[in-house]
Amino acid sequence: MDMDKNGVGAVDLLELTTAGGCGCKLPLDVMGPFMTSLQELIGATPVSEAVKADSSQRDDAALYEISPGRLLAVTADFGTPVSSDAKVWGRIAAQNALSDVYAMGARPLLALSLLALPRHLGLDVMSDLTAAAVATLTESATPLVGGHTVVSEVPMFGLCVVGEVSAGKALMLGNARPGHVLILTKALGTGIVTAGRRAGVASPALVRTAEELMSASNRAAADAAVRSGIRAATDVTGFGLIGHLLNMLSASGCAAVVNARAVPVMAGVADLLDTHGVVPNSGERNMFTVEDRTTWSNVDVGMRLILSDAQTSGGLLLAADASAAEMFMAASARDGIPASFIGAVTDGPAGTLEVRG
């Protein structure tokens, strides 16, 4: 139990949830059938021609044309605490929601707050959480213009974000093509570290590193991707790297090969798995859910779990041709954007993947 600023015992926010951040996301094996049934329902009603991307494409945001070539990107993203500190959680939650707009190549315009808290947490937590989110939004020149707040036994927070993108510059799941290289812009392992913090085995330094990684914006990486001519992207969140990559491959009708040794992983994450046995339920479930579409070649179980680990405010996963990739990596080196080549898109059965150790 922590102490609040008045010296009174305060509840650790991470103790109020069994799965932190995007780890609370509906699992892939449930999400797939749900989205299919939802699409059948939506498909039974007329859809405006102005809708350029909806839930059927599984992209990070919906796209709506408000004038020729001018699209709104609209998304909502919220989840459970990912830090014991309300201010840190507020910043991460805001970056996580903004990332859906960045992953579409869009510029955020405005945001609405989605907040659910137990009554006993009080005004201080609400204020700290929202103030941190507002400060984060301000960095992106995105005003918070309203929202909705309810009472809930499990705390949840996030944003609905509206952005704008030119039609020809939108980053879409379905734009990956054989011959494209795969690029990842943040290291993996934050879900495992958060679980390790809840179990009391992750060091304070490792927790801080994970929180700093989740607090980092994807704006610069998205801007560089658009300028470089990249048109295929998603962000890595609750389904883990493997789950989100498989969504991209299914949408694009392609397969891929990933080099597990090339995937960036936070230092200390492997030790949490190997020494302390920290295995988040969300990551384990992600791993088993993708087994029928993934071939693991000399990849140990620990690395499989890392690749399946549910991330909160994870990096961008980009698919780019050689020319665009070269431009993007040059921009990344110049602007200090972490970026790693992790594999390639290939011909093959749609939505299948080989991971090589």
Report DSSP letters for 194-261, one per residue: HHHHHHT-S-HHHHHHHHHHHHS-SHHHHHHHHHHT--EEEE--TTHHHHHHHHHHHHHT-EEEEEGG
User: Position 266: which residue type?
Assistant: M
Q: In what order do the strands lie in the sheet with 316-320?
A: 232-235, 316-320, 181-184, 340-346, 255-259, 352-356, 294-297
Residues 250 and 129: beta-carbon distance below 8 Å: no
Cα atoms in the 13 Å half-sphere on the side-chain side of 219: 17
Structure tokens at 71: 């699209």
3-state secondary structure of 54: coil
Q: Is 22 a catalytic residue?
A: yes
Buried b (16+ CB within 10 A) or exposed e, 237-258: bbbbbbbbbbbbbbbbebbbbb
Residues 17 and 24: beta-carbon distance below 8 Å: yes
Q: Is 154 exposed, middle or buried (0-12, 13-18, 19+ CB in 10 A)?
A: middle
Q: Using alpha carbons, list the distances in angstroms from residue 190 to 76, 184, 205, 238, 265.
A: 21, 15, 13, 11, 9
The Cα–Cα gap between 99 and 219 comes to 7
Paired sense of beta strands 255-259 and 144-151, if any: unpaired
From the candidates 22, 24, 160, 254, give the one annotated as an active-site residue: 22
Catalytic residue numbers? Answer: 22
